[in-house]
Homo-oligomer: A and B are copies of this chain.
Amino acid sequence: MKTKLPGIAVASILCFSTIVQADEPIQPIRPTQEINLAQVELGKKLYFDPRLSKSGFISCNSCHNLSMGGTDNLRTSIGDHWQQGPINAPTVLNSSMNLAQFWDGHAADLKEQAGGPMANPGEMAFTHMLAVEVLQSIPGYVNEFKLVFDTDKIDIDQVPQAIAEFEKTLVTPNASFDQYLLGAEDAISTKAKAGHELFKTSGCVACYNGPVVGGNSYQKMEVVEPYQAARPAERRVAVTGKDADRFRFKVPTLRNVELTYPYFHDGAADTLKEAVDTMGRIQLGKKFTAEENEKIVAFLKTLTGDQPGFTLPILPPSGDRTPRPTPSK
């Protein structure tokens, strides 16, 4: 059976650049295109595999849960031995389009990011050497790495490479706001449209723009008012050493923000209402009225796109010589 594209979608493809208004700072997010599918399938397994942690209990998906907007919906994450992380877990959704990874941008790309938590004593608490030793002892993985990377020996470099390739597929197109941008006037409510106007005229859009609606710059937090953080956190200055970066964080994405609560680097804001109110005050020196707040929140909810849809991966079983996890040590 042939799938017939609805008229509006065909029109969108043909007139993509003309339908989006010239002065619109947000662009529709495009579905993933160039991809290494074999690496994606391997990376998906690794993403869900808790054997990459010391305890055998924590996988990438524990804190970047793809059932929950690619986050854990906790203020800060839980790591090995129930340690509490220092900063709110950013969503993995659309993260391949960020200018860098982590709140302070200390990883250049997803591949560099993916190796981090695995070896962080407060998160997965493993080492890269042990992770490779585990994978190399699992017959199913040995075969799959051989087929995907054409090598007999698994290299630690290949692990984050495959995970990052999978993560590139975690793009969420087709948000109702994108449908609207592409010409479907009725895809969002009048209230959301008013929220979109307010979002632009109030200045939010200075930081939150582009296809990712954020993720493309480092910006100062506490522009107008200080922010009383629930816990201190590394900012951009920790990476660059530059005084100008002392108050800067990478701007998080607003895509799927309805799903990625709680908000801010300390996860202190439970609701969009609270986050919009705080950002208005500390960044724009503006107290949004209840009505304005509602409109902006209605707009933000139109940024929820199609969530990743894939079959739960089945992991290859450990072999007789696979080192066993040590959750109690």
Residues of A in contact with B (beta carbons under 8 Å apart): 48-51, 55-57, 62, 65-69, 72-74, 78, 81-82, 84, 258-259, 261-262, 270-273, 307-315, 317-318, 320, 324-325, 327-328
Contacts and interface: CB of A to CB of B under 8 A. Distances in A.
A48 B320 CA distance: 30
Q: Which of A272, A307, A315 gathers most chain B CB within 10 Å?
A: A315
B327 A78 contact: yes
Given A50-B65, A56-B74, 8 more contacts: A55-B74, A57-B74, A66-B312, A67-B315, A73-B318, A84-B327, A273-B320, A312-B312
24 contacts: A49-B67, A50-B72, A55-B78, A56-B72, A56-B74, A57-B72, A57-B74, A67-B314, A67-B315, A68-B315, A68-B317, A74-B325, A74-B327, A78-B327, A82-B327, A84-B327, A258-B317, A259-B317, A261-B318, A262-B324, A270-B320, A270-B324, A308-B312, A310-B312
Contacts of A273: 320
A73 B311 CA distance: 21
B67 A313 contact: yes
Contacts of A74: 55-57, 325, 327
A250 B107 CA distance: 50
A311 B310 contact: yes
B67 A312 contact: yes
Contacts of A310: 311-312
A82 B84 contact: no
Nearest to A83: B82
Contacts of A320: 270-273
A58 to B, nearest CB: 9
A297 B165 CA distance: 37
Contacts of A270: 320, 324
